[in-house]
Amino acid sequence: MEKINAGLIMLAEMHEKLPPSEKKVASYILAHPTQAIKMTAVELGEASQTSSAAVIRLCKSLNISGVQELKLRIAGDLQHTITVDRDIEANEALPSIVEKVTIQSSEILTQTANLIDIAELERAVSALSQARKIIFFGVGASGITAMDADQKFLRINKNSRAFMDLHLGATAVVNAQKGDVIVGISFSGETHEVAKILEIASETPATTISLTRYGSSLVSSLADISLYVSPNVEATFRSGATSSRLAQLLVIDILFMGVVTSAYEQTIDYLDETRTIIQGLQKKVAKRKNRIK
């Protein structure tokens, strides 16, 4: 999938964590994105009063292939700028709410897809495919994502558990073995409980995966494999973590499909079996209701 945007998001999120020379390049690009996409690395270095080497180092810090990819992403951002005010107002008309929520959801999914590092994704899919046991952990809205992941992987006969309680999660993780996978989910990347779970897991032979907003964070620093969602998600009145949850669910779905396709025949059989069982249960429930009537 060609990466078409998210360059400005990456620069903004990493800005304060960059070394001084790279920060100067990032500042110039954020202030002059239209001009920046027309410049070479040498020209960007001169315009930001640094050097072409600083520009190249910035691309490495952003974990992208080079200046051309950065400019492509920024050009995509400029082409897809959304001018609609996404915040919900008092007594807003329902058609307007439909438009704003739909635009916001579409934007977060596209941005998240363009932030995915395929190499890290491949490592995560490989670990989950071969996992002896999988533990998903999150609290609050991220806990809902953990539960969704758990029910998906159970359907393909994976030994999966989801936890939202720190004590129960710690009890499950402390005895993790080689071949187990621990997935910590935290949009902020700073959730104490999730960080603690990954810290405990780091003392075991298990593989750890983090799912956080893009950028450096405590949770991602504790994981062997780091996956990210777009940080540009919530408007003022969207306090229910609606968009961040959608972004997390997208990544979970991608991981799930990656595992399915890695052992296609076997996992499809598992999915068919679970679907047949559920349909049979639904028919039994319907028959009981008819008898009661």
Give the residue with greater pLDDT, 16 vs 181: 181
10 Å CB burial of residue 263 (0-12, 13-18, 19+) is middle
Task: Judge whether 173 and 204 are in contact, CB under 8 Å.
Answer: yes
- How far apart CA 139 and CA 66 sit, in angstroms, is 36
The alpha carbon of residue 29 and the mean position of all alpha carbons in its chain are separated, in whole angstroms, by: 25
pLDDT at position 238 over 60: no
Q: How many CB atoms within 10 Å of residue 285? A: 10
pLDDT in tens, 127-173: 999 999 999 999 999 999 999 999 999 999 999 999 999 999 999 99
Q: State the residue for tokens 């008898």.
A: 291
The model's pTM:
0.81
Helix (H), strand (E) at residue 212? strand 207-213
- How far apart CA 231 and CA 5 sit, in angstroms, is 14
Instruction: Work out the average pLDDT over 210-234.
Output: 91
Bridge-based pairing state of the strands 160-163 and 207-213: unpaired
pLDDT winner (highest mean) among 67-81, 166-180, 235-249: 166-180
pLDDT in tens, 35-65: 999 999 999 999 999 999 999 999 999 989 8
Task: Judge whether 188 and 213 are in contact, CB under 8 Å.
Answer: yes
pLDDT in tens, 196-215: 999 999 999 999 999 999 98
As a whole number of Å, the end-to-end CA separation of the chain is: 54
Helix (H), strand (E) at residue 88? none
| Most distant CA atoms of the chain, gap in Å | 81
For residue 268, which phi and psi values (nearest 5 degrees)?
Answer: -65, -40
